[in-house]
Structure 1
Amino acid sequence: MNAKLTPIIEQFTLVDGSQQNSPHNQSAVRAPKDTAMAKGNLFVLVEVQGDAAGLDLIEKRLLALVRDTYYPARGGITAGLRRAVNTANQWLYQYNSANEDLLIGGVAAAVMREDDLFIAQIGPAAIFSSLNNFIRRHPEKSAWLDGDRGQSDDYAPALGVHHFVEPYITHLQLQPGDAVILSDSQLAGQVSTQQVSQTLAAQKAGTIARKLAQTAHSRSASALVVQFNQGKDLKPALGALMDKLPVSMGGASTATDSAEKGFHFALPAAMPRPKLPGFARRQPDPAPQQAACFDDDEFYAADDDFDTVGDNERDEFEGQSPFSRIWQLLTAAVVGTIAFLGGGLHTILQLALPGSPTDEASLKQAGRQAQPLAGKQPSRRALLYVAFGLPVLALMVVLAMYWYKGYNKEQEYLTALNQAEQKYQQAQLSSPETARALLTEVDQHLDEAAAIKTDQKEITALHTVVDEQRDEINNVQRLYYVPELRNYTDAGTQLNNVVVQGVNVYVLDKGLNRVFQHTLDDIGDTLLPDEGSPMLVQQGQKVDDLAIEKLIDMVWMPSGGGRQTSDLLVLDRSGLIEFDPDWGAAAIAINGIETWKNPVAVGSYFGNFYVLDAGANQIYRYLPTANGYENPPDPYFAEGTIVNLSGVVDMAIDGAIYALHQDGRIQKFTGGQPVEFQITGLDEPFKNPTAIYTALDEEVQYLYIADAGNKRIVQLSKDGQFIRQFKPRVEDEIVFDNLQGLYVDEIGEKMYALNGNSLYAPNLPSAP
C-alpha cells in the first residue's frame, strides 16, 4: 500500500455505570525510533478476574509488563508478543502461587507496522477486527466469552494458571477504513459480530466504544478502538490521546498521586528474576512468607489493608504453603493416634501378661498369707480399640509415607522447572556463546522435570520457546516442505549419492551395488511413475565386457575439454560406465585401475575425471580421450607435497577441490597445493559429516555439507564462513539423522537429500 495508514484511537472504560477518564488497563505506545521499522506501534488491553482486592492495580502491573517486555524482546513481532504475554503470565502465576485467591488474567494486544497488523490474545479478553467490512472476533471460540467453562485448557487458556502459555497470534492485512476493537470480557461476551458491524457502520470515531457498551447493556466495560485511515503523519492521531491514556507514547508510566499508598503482596522470598522488577519466584520449599513490597510509581492501593503479613489475629498456619499445613495436621493426627493406641496397648499388656509389676507388688504387700491375685482381664472395649486401631494406624502411616513421597516429588519437579525458567531468562540477556550453554542447561532441567511428571504442558511450552531461541541464535532455518520422493525398501539398501540433471534423478545404492534412474514431474516435487525397471545398472550385470562388481561413486560429466557429450559416469572397482539418457549404458576405457589402493570419491571438471584415492594420498586426474580415459592419469599432487587424505568421505570440485573428512575437517586444494581453509561461526562442529556439494560459481555460490550427527544440512561460504543451517520442522517428524548424499540446485531453489532409505526434495529457503 502506497498511502500511509494513521491509527485513530478511541478509549472507553465504564465502572459501575461511571465512565473513567484515565483507564488503568489500556495502553497505546508509539514504537521507539530505533525499533520503529521492526516492532511497530503497540495497543494493549488487559483484564483480571477474581475475588481479591486491588484488581485494578494488578491490571496496571500486567499492562506495564506487557508494554515494557515487547520492544526489548529479541526476535520479530510475533516473538515479542509471545514473550510479553508470557512475562505477564509468569508474574501472575507466581502471585497466585503465593495467595489463596486465584486470579485469572487476559490480554488483547495489537501491533501495527505499516499495513500489517499482528494481534495476540489470551484469557478473558477479545479482539474484534473489521477488515474490508468483514467482522471477526479473535478468538472465535472462547470459554471466557461464551460461558462454557467446562472445556479443556486448550480451549480456555489464560494468564496465571500455568508456568507458560501459548497465546492466540495471527497476522492481518490492513486497508484504509479497517478497524480493530480491543475489548474486555464484559463487553466481548455480550455483543455479536453483527452488532459490532452495525455499530462501526453507524457511529463516528469517538463514540463507537460507548455505543457498544450501551448495546451490551453493561454497567462495566472496557474497550480500545483503533481505526486505520490514510494520513501523512502518525503523531497527531496518537498524540491527541496521550492525556487520556495511562501510559505515555514514549513508554513511561504516567504520574500518580503522591498521596496514594504502596501496595503490598505476600509473595515467597526468592532470588531476583532478570528483567522483572518486583517479581517473586515460586519456591519449592514451604518456607514462611515475607512481604514483597512494590513501591514503584505504577503500584498504588487505597489503604494498607492489603498487608497480609504480621496480623496477630491470624492462626498459627498463616503464611505457610498448603503442603506445609496439610503435612503438619497429618503428622499431628498420626502422632496423637500412636500415643493413644500405644498407651491403651501398654495398659492392656500390663494387666494381661503374667509376672507384671502390678502382680508382684500386690503379693509383697499381702505377706505370706496373701493369695495370688487373679490377672485383671482387659475390657471388651479396650480389645476392640486395639483390634481396629492397629490396622487404622498402619494404614495412616502408609498413606502418610505415600503422600510425603509424592510431596517430595512435587518439590523436585518445581525445583527443576524453576531452574529451567531461570536459565532461560538468563539466556535471553546473554551473548550467543553463553546463551547456547544456558539453553543446554534448560534442556537438562526440563528433562529432569519430565522424568518426574510426564506430558506436562508447561514443559512442552518451555521446550518450544527454548527451541525457537536456539534456532534464532544458531541461524537455523526450518524446512517447511520436505516431500519424500521415493522410499527404497529392499533389505541391504545403503543409499550413498544422488545426482540430478534436468528432470533425471540418479540414485546410487552402494549396499546392493545398483543405480536407479527416475524422472521428475514438471514441478519437481514428485517422481513420475516408472516406465519399466528404474534400475540403470546393478551388481552382476554385464555392460559390454564389464561385469558390475562393487560400485564406488558416480558424477555428472559435462562436455568440454575435448569431451563432446554430457553423461553420467559410474565408477566400479572393475571399470568405468558411461550412461547417456538417449543411448543407454556403455563401458568406456580408464587406465590404471590396478594401481588404486582405496578410491572413495570421484569428481568432474570441464571433461576431466578425478578419482580420490585415500589409500594412496593422491587425487588422480584423467584427461578425456576418444574412447574414454585411456591415458595414464596425472597425479594432482606433485611429488613431495605433503597431504593426508585418510578419513576422507567425499569431495567436491568448482575449480578448487574440497575434501571432506569423517572427523569434520575440510581440506581445500588449488593447483595441486593445499590452501588454508578454516570453518568459522559454526555453533557446533561437524559430527559424522557424510557428503559435500558445490559446483562452478555461476551455478552454486556456497558449500553444502550433510551433517548426519547433528541432523542438519549446513551452508558455508567457499572460504569456510558459516552462513546458515537447515533442519526439518519438529512437527513433521522427519529427522536428518542418517544423511548420505546431497545435491543442491540454487537456481531452482531445491535440495535433494538421501536420508536413510528415502530420497527427499525440500525447497531451499531464500537467503534472508
Structure 2
Amino acid sequence: MIPHANARPQVESIVGALRVIDSTRHKVTAPHLSGAPYAAALDAPPDAARSRSGERLFMLLDLTRMTPAHRYRELREVFARIYWSETGSITAGLRRAVAAANRRLFFANLDIDPSERCVGGMTCAVLRDDNVFIVQTGSLQVYAFSEGRLERLSPGSSLTPLGMSRMADVRLRHVFVAPGDKLLLASSSLLQAVGEGGLARVIPREGLTDTLDGLEQIGADADFVALLMHCTTLEKASAARELLQSLSQLKETVRSRPEPAPELTPQPTPEPKPEPTLAEAEAALAPRMPEAPPYPIDLFQPSPVPPETERPVEQIPVRIVEASDEPPPASYKEMPEIVRESTPGLGADLMERVGEGARLGLGSIGHGLAAAGGVIVGGLRALPRRVLPGPERGARRPSRSVSRPVPEEDASKMIAIAVGIPILLAIVVIWAYQAFGEKSQFQSVIDQAKQAIEQAQSSGGVVEPARSHWEMALEQADAARALRPDDQVAIDLQTKARSALDQLDGIVRLSTRQLWDFGPSTVPRRLVAHGQMIFVLDPAGEWVARLTLNANGDGVVERDGNPFIVRRGQEIGGASVGALLDFIWVEPMGGRQTSGLLILEEDGAIVTYDPAWEGEGGEIQLSRFALESPPAAPVVVDTYNGRLYVLDADANQIRRYQPQGDRYPGRPENYFVDSPPRPMREALDMAIDGYVYLLYPGGEIHKFLGGKPDTFAVQNLPGDLSQAHALTVDPNGGSGAIYVLDQGRVLVLGPDGAFRAQFRADDVFDNLEAAVMDESTARLYGLSDGRLYVAFLP
C-alpha cells in the first residue's frame, strides 16, 4: 500500500489463477493466464485508445458449472474490446465494458432453453502505475493484503448475477498498491468454506505458487475459481514472468515426451542434482514481508489510523433500475425464467398476485353491491307498512315454488362476458405494473444519483474518484429525466452533476446565435473575421462570401442580399479566377501600405479585396496578381507583420514573402533552417502569432520560432486530441492562446501547451468546420454543418 498519494513508485505484477471442481484443480501461472478460459491478464494492445496506454487488465469469471468454454472466451473478448477502445476515464471504461458483457450474456440466455442458461459473477481490475480500479458484479469476493493486514473490498450484499438482468448491477472500488501487496479475486464458495480466518493464514505466504497451493489445500472441499495478483517491482516481475514461462514450456516438453520402454536390467545411476522448484524460485524473488504493525492499517487511507477512526467502505451503485429484494439463489444451476422487462423485481409472481387480487376484489365488490341493493329494496317495501296506521301484519310465509324450466342462455352474451373479463383483468394488471414499475425505477435512479453526489463530495479532493462519482450521478440524473422530463429534483441533480464535471474538466458552456446558413459542403470551409466583417471561403463551392455584422454583433446586415464577392471563373483584370484554396486578412505593417483580404488560388495567384475601396455605384473592387515565384503545392496561407507565409507541401517548407507596396514581387525565403520534424505534406493546418504552430493528424502540435523548434507539450488535457483538425490564434489578442478545434469542442492551450479551458455549445460544435477567436470583443465565430454561429464568452 502507498501511504501517501505523492509517493508513486512504478508497480508491476505477477498473476496466477486457480480453479477447483470436484477436488480437481487447474492452476495457471503463465504471464497472460493463457489456457484459463475463466481468467485473463492482458496488457494494452497497440490499437488501444491513447488513454489506456500503460494499463494492465485482469479478469475473473465464475459462471454456472455447465457453461461452455466458448462462452467464457466470448465474454472476455467483449469486455476487453469495449474497455481498450474507451477514451474516457478508467471507471467509465469499466462500466461500459461490464454492461456490454452483461448484455451479451443476457440476450444469449434468452435464445436458449432455461435449463442451459448461464449466469454468475465477473470481477475485473485495472492496474495503472500504483492505482488499482476494480469493478464487480455477481457474488465474487475481492480481498486486498497489505502490510500484514487482509481487507475485504466486496460489498456486504450479493449483487445481481451477470446475465440475469438486462441492466448490470455493479460496484466500483479504487485502491493504491505498493510492491509486496496482493489482490485476491475468488468465488464466494471459497469464503463460505474457509472463512476470512482461513484466507488470513494463506494469503501472507511468500511466493505466488505457495499462496495458490495454500488456497487449494484449504478449499479442497469447495468448487471455486480464484485469481491472485502479486504486486512487485518491474525487475522482479520481469524475472518472475521469464521463469514462469520457462517452467511452463519445460513442463509441456516433458509432458509431450514419449514414455521410455523399461529396461530388463536397470543399471543404478547417480541421482542428478534436483532443479530448483517454482516455489523456491519465487521465494527468492519475492520481497520479505514486514512484521504486522501494532494496530491494523487501512488499505485505502493515506496514513495509518486506529481502527475506530476507519472510514466505511465506499460502494458505488451503477445499475439504473432497482434490483429485486430477494437475494440471488445460492446455486445458479437452476435459473429462473428470464423475463424481458426493463424493471427487475416485478416478475411473473407479481403479475399473478396482482391478477388474483384484481379478480377477488372485483368479485367482492359485486357481491357487496348486490347485498346492499337487497337490503335497500327490502327497507323501502317495509317503510309504508311501518309508517301508516293499522295492525301489524304477520310475516308472509313463502309459498312452495312451482318448478319452472331453466331459461335459455344467450351464447353471444356469455362469450362476450368470458372474453371481456380477462381483457379487463389484463388492463388492470398492466396499468398497475407500469405505474408501480415507473415509480420504483424513478425513485431508484434518484436515490443512486444522490448517493453518488454524496460520495463525490466526500472524496477529499482526489480528482479521479470524484470524477467517477460525478459521472455516475449525471448518468442516473439523465435516466431520471428520461422517465420524468419535468421533475424538478431530477433537473437539479442533473444541473449539479454537470456543473461539477464542467469544473473538473475546465468546460465553459457557450450560448450561440446563428448568423447565416450556407448549406452543407463536401470539404471544410475557411473562416476569417475582421472587425464587423466575416468572410467565408468554400473550396468545393468555389466562392468567397462577406457578411457584415450589426452593431450588437448578433446579426448580419445582408439578410436579403447577395453575400458572394468572388467566384471561380470570374474575370478580374483580364484573367479568370482559378481554384480557391485559402485566404487571410493582412494588416498594413512591415512595408505593406493597406489592409485587405488576400485569397490564394491553387496555382499561386493572389486575389485582393479592400472593403474601403468601392466603385461609384457601390461595386466591389478586386485586383489579381501572380507571385513571382509561386509555391509548387500550396496548402495553407497565413500572415504576420505584413509578410505572407505559404505552406508548400512539395518543397517541405514554409515560403515567406516580403511585401513591397501591396504586392509580394520578390523571391520567397525558406522559413525552416533545417528540415522540419515531420513532412509538410502531413500538416493539417497552420497558425502564426509570432510563433509558427503546425497541426498534424492525431493531435500532434509543433511550435517554431525563427525556423527552429521551440518548447511545446500538451499538458493536463481532459481526453485527447485524436480528432483535432484545425487550429487558430488571435495575433492581435496578446494572450498567446492557441485554439484547437476538436470533436464537439474548442480547446484553449497556453503558449507552452498547458490546458486552460474548453468551449462547448451543446450540439452546435459537433461538426465544427472552422472557428475564429476575436479576443478584443470576446466573440467566437464558428462554422458547423454549413451554419455560421457567434458565441459571446462570459
Return the TM-score normalized by structure 2: 0.44
Q: What TM-score comes out, normalization by structure 1 length?
A: 0.46
